[in-house]
Amino acid sequence: MTTPSRFAVIPAAYVVLLREADHGTEVLLQLRRGTTYMDGWWACGAAGHVEQGETVLEGAAREAREELGIEIDPADLRLVATTHRTCVIPSGLEERIDLFVQARSWRGEPTIQETDKAGELRWWPLAALPDKVVPHERLALESLARGEVGSFHALGFDQRLTLIAAVGRNGVIGDGETMPWHLPEDLRFFKDTTMGGVLVMGRGTWDSIGRALPGRRTIVVTRDKTWSAPGAEVAHSLREALMIAGDGEVFVAGGGQVYAQTIEHAHRLIITEVDLEPAGQTRFPEIDPSVWGETSRLPGSGDVTGWVTYERRP
């Protein structure tokens, strides 16, 4: 785990356009597309970084002009929510202070100005948002729907990563396509350990399982922008997957590349020691005893030597 560094604030302004309809207050959302981040998710009508030399309200008015083609007087904007978000994997992209400002009056008709970044604009009931709203934006919009003007939300600070894997004596965890063994007792252990939790896995691991596991959220990381599967939430980067996962314990379930990218930032390892040496090129990363301390060991049977838990040393 890397040493914490001084937090460098990246302020961003989010424009929440509201109007009144017969069934109540509506909010204008855009469907993200072609941005490489949270594509296919709904987001505020306009948003972006606050540029040097401008206030948050001025930045919000500029973003509304650039993205929606409308004019808003900064004096007509009101701060309605703030989020402070981070990610368990350090990234300037996710170390943010997000300021949400509300507008109820503007000049012009909102239209998509950046057609390469948005696929659709739509008015949604503020009290009935679509399922896929960018997580930190949903927090702000839902608090606004409850009448909580000026709310503050923190996201990502209580996230904890647990890597869970079955590992052979030679370090192999798979051949890149299928599971190298069938261990019913370990499948039961995996189910009991992860039930009710959040799983993050790569596309190859999903394919080897073949379905969503009941009782758990499953977030699949894939570069394929067209891929989907019943029961799977899709992310196009590991950081995006962790933002979707939210706070609390997140179980990383493979494959090899995903383990390699997360072990440096993990808090716990749960390892099934398998008394086999299968062929395969996919291996679990080395468990450095100077970094990881064994905290529990449950004896196994048959091909399972035991289930071992490691915690990161202070």
- In three-state secondary structure terms, 253 is coil
Residues 269 and 233 in one domain: yes
Residue 119 has a CB neighbour count (10 Å cut-off) of 14
pLDDT for 69: 98
The encoded tokens of residue 70 equal 């409308």
Please state, for a pLDDT cut of 90, what percent of the chain lies above it. Answer: 82
Classify residue 6: in a domain, yes or no: no
Q: How large is the angle between the packed helices 238-245 and 135-145, nearest 10 degrees? A: 30
How many domains does the chain divide into?
Answer: 2
Task: Report, as an integer, the average pLDDT of 21-36.
Answer: 93
173 in the same domain as 284: yes
* Boundary (domain end) residue, out of 113, 134, 155: 155
User: Where does the pLDDT of residue 178 fall: very low under 50, low under 70, confident under 90, or very high at 90 and above?
Assistant: confident
Which letter does DSSP use for residue 26 in this model? E
User: CA-to-CA distance for 131 and 153, rounded, in angstroms?
Assistant: 20
pLDDT at 280: 85
- CA atoms lying within 13 Å on the CB side of residue 133: 22
Q: Which two tokens stand for residue 296?
A: 């529990």
Do 134 and 21 lie in a common domain? yes
Report which of 202, 197, 169 is spatially closest to residue 275, judged by C-alpha positions.
169
> Does the pLDDT of residue 122 top 80, yes or no?
yes
Yes or no: say if 284 and 173 are a contact pair by the CB < 8 Å rule.
yes
User: pLDDT tens digits for 278-307?
Assistant: 988 899 999 999 999 999 999 999 999 999
Give me the residue label for tokens 């999903």.
206
CA distances from 36 to 32, 41, 74, 240 (A): 9, 11, 30, 10
Asked if the structure places residue 4 within a domain, the reply is no
Statement to judge: residues 130 and 179 lie in one domain: no
Residues 97 and 138 in one domain: yes
Q: Among the three residues 126, 155, 184, which one is the final residue of a domain in this structure?
A: 155
CATH number, position 253: 3.40.430.10
Is the pLDDT confidence value at 4 over 60? no
Q: Is residue 174 domain-shared with residue 256, that is, in the same domain?
A: yes
Task: Please indicate, yes or no, if residue 221 is contained in any of the structural domains.
Answer: yes
- Band (146; pLDDT cuts 50, 70, 90): very high
Residues 165 and 304 in one domain: yes
Q: Is residue 136 part of a domain?
A: yes
| CATH code of the domain containing 128 | 3.90.79.10
- Residues spanned by the domain of 207: 159-312
Say yes or no: 181 and 46 in one domain.
no
CA pseudo-torsion sign 281, 283, 288, 289: negative
Which range has the worst mean pLDDT, 86-95, 103-112, 203-212? 86-95
pLDDT reading at 62 higher than 80: yes
- Of 88, 94, 86, 5, which is closest to residue 265 (Cα–Cα)? 88
> Looking at residue 281, what is its pLDDT?
85
| CA distances for 242 relative to 108, 199, 252, 254, angstroms | 38, 10, 10, 14
| Same domain flag for 134 and 229 | no
End-of-domain residue from the set 155, 187, 218 = 155
Q: Is the pLDDT of residue 233 over 60?
A: yes
